[in-house]
Every structure is written in C-alpha cells, then in structure tokens.
Chain A
C-alpha cells in the first residue's frame, strides 16, 4: 500500500503533506505511487472534501473512516474539533513486487478491511495527539503551515507503527 497523508486547514488550505508506504507485512515503508501521482493525489484528496463535509455533520466522531474512492485510491478522513482535516489517500500496490500479501484482510492489501480501518484510526489518533501539541503553542495560529521537523518525525513514526 502507498499512502499520501495531508492536513488541510479550515479554508481547505494545505498545512502539511507526507508520503509513505506500508511498513507492515514486511513492507519497506516506501510509497510506490506512479511518478505522475503527486499532483493527482492532491487533486483526488481535495475532491473528497465535499464528501468529508457532508459526512462530518452526520457523525460526531472525529474519525470518519473511508469516505471516498476514486479508481484505485481510497480516502480516509479525520476531523479535529476545530475543523482541521486529516486526509489519507491509500492505494493498494497493484502488481507490487516488493510486498507479499499474506492475507486479503491485511493492512497492506485490503483498503477497506476492518483491520485497515482500525490501523488508520490508530494512525490518525496518534497524529491527532501531536497535532494538538502543535496547536497548543501560543504562537501557533489557526491554519498555519506545520513546519516542525519533529512533527514530521512523529507522523513518520506513527506511519511505521500502524500502516
């Protein structure tokens, strides 16, 4: 599985972006998006925003689970109390030579299995903790880009741990 994680502010402005691959089931943590994916991913993630906004008023939970699918791209979403959105695009590796799929429900293989859903929940929850720490600083203003390398490391670590 390849992942593209972004954080969007309340004006849908990008605050943070990180690309990673599966670390579970022997994955090497490297994303295997096609070279052209960078812009496409951004586009796909943004086009899911309307759905996210629709879903978020239907449930009070922060984790909205998988809200959208575009060809082989699955979009999971998490909304913070103050309406910042965490969005994760996950794309199963199609003829992935590097990843051996042991079970169809595995996180690295099946983007909609309960295991994957739980793994992404745990990932978001851990990122949420780091994000709240960022926001608590009196110098952090709403919708400011998150540039801290430590925050980036924390996201990377959460990815290795759960995805």
Chain B
C-alpha cells in the first residue's frame, strides 16, 4: 500500500470507526504510570524502560487483532516498507491520532525510523532534574514494546528502541525499528 493510500485509510478509520476519549485522560494516565514506576523502582530508569517496554509488548499482542479488524487489512503487507507505512499512517493514527514520519531507511530496507512531531504521551512532561533522567529514561518506551508485540503476532520479529527524545533535550523524538526476521508460518505465535 502506498504512503498516500495508507494515510487516507488511517484518516478514514479515525473519522468513522473509532470511539474516542479525552486525549488528556490518556496523557495523565500514562504520566501517572511512568511516575509510579519511577517510584517503585527507586528511579532506576533503566529498569523503568524495561517495564514500559514489557507493558507495551503485552498491549501489542492484544492490539493487533483490533488493528486488523478496524483496518480491514487481513492480507499481509508485501514488504517491510509497506509495514512501516501501515504502522505510522494507520496504526498510530487510529489509536493516538498522530502520524509519525517514516524516514532514514537503510539500503537493505530492514531498518527505518519513526520521527514523532507530536506525542500525546509526553504532553505536559518535563523529566526530573536529577542529572540522570535525561540520560537514562526513555519516557515513551512503551511504544517500542507495542510495535514488538504487535508485529510478532503477524510473524515479524522486530527490535525497536528510541535514539532521541525532545524530553532529553534532543531536537527530535526518533525511534529506530529493525526487522530481525520473518517468523516461520508453521510455528504458532506465542500464546499471550
């Protein structure tokens, strides 16, 4: 599916088939989750990143079904480039009403970046001024887990991590996504 078609599809689904809630309810809920994790793990931000990724993974496993139903695209994307477009222009659009930019492909078409102009999870957020959080915490790390979990359910093993974040004082918020391999069809996906 071309980038434009994916964008139109995302827009259409968002407008017609999505039940909505106050964005700030989501923002505040995510904020309190991260703040609680920081408290529970005594500001061990590396561990907080892991926990967020794990939560995201659980979400991803369940979310994919919802995504496929809403987007009516049971057929598998024909290549990883198409997958990237679907993630950015349909996936992020219909769940969070944002469309991160797909960019910085490697020549082998196995790695790309999502660049977030907007990020509702991070609205209102300033990281703690403790000399560590800006070096260690990836506030929106839950996204990485969501992608990993969701794509695993459609036979793609990927690795995802943030490489920059406005909250850390970087000029962009950028996530790197790499395709490790297509999981063999005969193997049943891991049960959730």
Contact = CB atoms under 8 A, between A and B. Distances in A.
Touch between chains A and B, by CB atoms below 8 Å: yes
Interface of A: 133-134, 136-140, 147-148
B55 to A, nearest CB: 15
Contacts of A137: 31, 124-126
A138 B129 contact: no
B38 interface: yes
Nearest to A135: B124
Contacts of A148: 126, 129
Contacts of B127: 139
A106 B21 CA distance: 49
B128 interface: yes
Contacts, number: 25
B125 A139 contact: yes
B83 interface: no
Contacts of B126: 134, 137, 139-140, 148
Contact of B31 (A133, A134, A138, A147): A138
Interface string B98-138: 00000000000000000000000000111111000100000
A136 B125 CA distance: 7
- For the complex of A and B, the 9 pairs showing the least CB-CB separation, nearest first, are A138-B31, A136-B124, A138-B35, A137-B126, A139-B128, A137-B125, A137-B124, A139-B35, A147-B129
Residue among B38, B126, B127, B128 with the highest chain A CB neighbour number at 10 A: B126
Interface bin, chain B: 10 to 19
B35 to A, nearest CB: 4
Chain A's interface: helix, strand, loop or mixed, by majority? loop
Nearest to A147: B129
B34 interface: yes
Contacts of A133: 124
B32 interface: yes
Nearest to A134: B126
Residue among B28, B32, B38, B128 with the highest chain A CB neighbour number at 10 A: B128
Contact of B34 (A138, A140, A147): A138
Contacts of B35: 138-139
A156 to B, nearest CB: 19
Given A139-B35, A139-B125, 19 more contacts: A133-B124, A134-B126, A136-B124, A137-B31, A137-B124, A137-B125, A137-B126, A138-B28, A138-B32, A138-B34, A138-B35, A138-B125, A139-B38, A139-B126, A139-B128, A139-B133, A147-B129, A148-B126, A148-B129
Contacts of B128: 139
Residue among B31, B34, B124, B129 with the highest chain A CB neighbour number at 10 A: B124
